[in-house]
Structure 1
């Protein structure tokens, strides 16, 4: 099967001219091969990115005419409970949060949360981690250590965390996730 359109995603925090091929970096192909793309999407840009910054990115990518370049940012919604039945929404108004993630780079989420909370602790698991009941014990210990903190995670992680049967209700009541969507800033 041959694709009808090639779309390349580039994380704005990992420009391809500063990255390396797998396994040393995250590139799956040589940077020069980007010219085969029909569309390049620079993702996770700062929401305040202006036209001048976008122009600099386009120059940096050295894209030939005819290749569409788009810029997106992340937009977070209000926290939602991981366990709706046990949720105590008062924790959303806490000043403290435990950031619980199993994503490759929680930097953007952390930066967003710092506008609302003091991060008491980071509980980071490897990317795509399958949470176990042993992990539930670790989460419970951290929750007890930071008993006033909201426990916040990603939408992706919330799905896997919701399957944990060993979490006590007092921990479940504090677990929330942030829905996120990609928003187009501009395209050329």
Structure 2
């Protein structure tokens, strides 16, 4: 009875803490492993804003009154360093808190002190099939997209941190999403967040 009361008190404390804390969660991972979907589900559970490269680029275009073509031209000409601009915007979000950064953008701030860094991965064929279905493209095209993304993200982490993007020491947890529903993955992360602060 006493143990059950202790668990209930812990849960009540976590719910209260959950409302007043400003969480920051990074969900970097492989293209097609479900970073966006998991982040959206987790964001609803924890009432956190979700951002990624696509949303940030839309913000840059809107606030800068640029077309995507103009932004691409400025990037290719070297007039702006898009990666640095995206990183700066992500850091602004981190300073405000209550945010989940997912996908490629999360790799840009792996060296920052946040609540959790969760790497999502899956086997190549799972990711190829998912990208083909999500984008409505042929499997060969999806396979090329996955290959290019893996090369890009691997190179990014190597350049920024001198480590392999698959190095487990960069993350708090690595989750294989191939055999899990995204709802279950989001719940694993939510539980990890709860357990982290109950432990403290």
**Pair in the same fold by TM > 0.5:** no
Higher strand share: 1
Please tell me whether Structure 1 or Structure 2 has the larger radius of gyration of its CA atoms. 1
TM-score (norm 2): 0.27
Taking structure 1 as the reference length, what is the TM-score of the superposition?
0.28
